[in-house]
Chains A and B, each alone.
Chain A
């Protein structure tokens, strides 16, 4: 294997890891929304808008071996990360109710899921977006060494 091939493989694997996180997150969001019938709140929708396209974007790039996709993924993922951070702060009552943009529809503070006693949905989303951003940055760095 040539050196370039090894560099590409590393970047590709980081991309694959980021895609797996996006795939698991999307599947979970669709499961909670459509199978369990929990309507998403406004902030959840914004996070979905950032998360769902990552599955297709990164998936197609993986199939076509285009590691340059990382920067596009980071843009989406950073956006989702910001909303997830805001949502988490709101959920944990670290920012006051009056700032909540939730009018009609389900409350963004409604508890839907709680894993191990402290992992709620906004927190899981924040973790997923952070992971994706980190993995995509690592992918970019890996291919930057060419």
Chain B
């Protein structure tokens, strides 16, 4: 390599290094900011009337800001469920709504209507299982959710009536307000006992849950 080539390669390497350092610093700042926002708004993260999987007495709560039309939420669903099942009595999962996809608000209302019939979790699982049928990004087809919900025993006529109720709308609007206050812009967004994930992913979530179990119940 001649001097000119060394110059070019050195500049490229320095640029890449600066970019990496800058990205790391920026991410750190965003994380700190989000942790602070979450800590200042702990009451907004866990709402008592939000759908909860697992015993309410569990001291570790995984709050998931969730969009039924989001593929990553679908992928995380069995993992979150496993955290609750594998730590009996200690972990609960709380679903908060972040209907960011087109038409998701209608699906959320339908799920809440299924909750009134005590069929929330089976309805949710049925919708997630066949998510591709109704949740296309470019062309969502919300009508497809009804046969899926009917198959798990939801009374569709009653549900369609209930989803128009002001109570359900109030719950959705409140979740949307909390979403804005907590600055949640992506789904799923997790908070474990009010703490956001340092980086997104299954491993960081698992570590945070284990850390909180340790804090609340002593090391296993």
Contact = CB atoms under 8 A, between A and B. Distances in A.
Interface in A1-42: 12, 16, 19-20, 23-24, 27, 30-31, 35-37
B19 A59 contact: no
B4 to A, nearest CB: 7
A63 B5 contact: yes
A108 to B, nearest CB: 21
B200 interface: no
28 contacts: A16-B7, A16-B8, A20-B11, A23-B11, A23-B12, A23-B15, A24-B15, A27-B15, A30-B19, A31-B19, A31-B22, A31-B23, A31-B26, A35-B22, A35-B23, A35-B26, A35-B27, A36-B26, A37-B185, A59-B8, A59-B12, A62-B4, A62-B5, A62-B8, A63-B4, A63-B5, A63-B9, A65-B4
A37 B22 CA distance: 14
Nearest to B1: A63
Nearest to A60: B8
Contacts of A63: 4-5, 8-9
Contacts of B26: 31, 35-36
Size bracket of the A interface: 10 to 19
Given A19-B8, A24-B15, A63-B5, 6 more contacts: A23-B11, A23-B12, A27-B15, A30-B19, A31-B22, A31-B23
A65 B15 CA distance: 21
A13 B26 CA distance: 33
Nearest to B25: A35
Contacts of A23: 11-12, 15
Contact of B19 (A20, A27, A62, A65): A27
Contacts of B9: 63
B3 to A, nearest CB: 11
Contacts of B18: 27
Interface in A60-77: 62-63, 65
Contacts of B23: 31, 35
Q: Considering the complex of A and B, which 4 residue pairs feature the smallest CB-CB distances, nearest first? A: A35-B23, A62-B8, A27-B19, A63-B5
Contacts of B4: 12, 62-63, 65
A37 B185 CA distance: 10
Interface string A109-136: 0000000000000000000000000000
Contacts of B7: 16
Nearest to B8: A62
A63 B10 CA distance: 12
A35 to B, nearest CB: 5
A134 B160 CA distance: 65
Nearest to B27: A35
Interface string B6-49: 01110110010011001100110000000000000000000000
Contacts of B185: 37
Contacts of A31: 19, 22-23, 26
B216 to A, nearest CB: 33
A36 B23 CA distance: 9
A27 B11 CA distance: 13
